[in-house]
Amino acid sequence: MYAMQLPSTWLSGLSGGLMIGFSAASLFWLLGRIAGISGILGGLMQAGAGGDRAWRVLFLAGLLLAGLLVAPVPMLTEGTGTPMLIVAGLLVGFGSRLGSGCTSGHGVCGLGRLSLRSLAATATFMTAGFVTVFLLRHGGF
Mapping DSSP onto H, E and C, the string for 24-81 reads: HHHHHHHHCCCCCHHHHHHHHHCHHHHHHHHHHHHHHHHHHHHHHHHCCCCCCCCCCC
Alpha-carbon distance of 96 to 123, in angstroms, equals 14
pLDDT, one tens digit per residue, over 37-61 is: 888 888 888 756 567 888 888 888 9
List Cβ neighbours of 97 (8 Å cut-off, separation of 6 or more). 38
pLDDT at site 120 = 92
Q: pLDDT higher for 22 or 50?
A: 22
Residue 116 has pLDDT above 90, yes or no: yes
Residue 27 has pLDDT above 80, yes or no: yes
Residue 2 has pLDDT above 70, yes or no: no
Any idea what the Cα angle at residue 75 is, between residues 35 and 88, rounded to 5°?
A: 60
User: Average model confidence (pLDDT) for the chain?
Assistant: 79
pLDDT at site 47 = 58
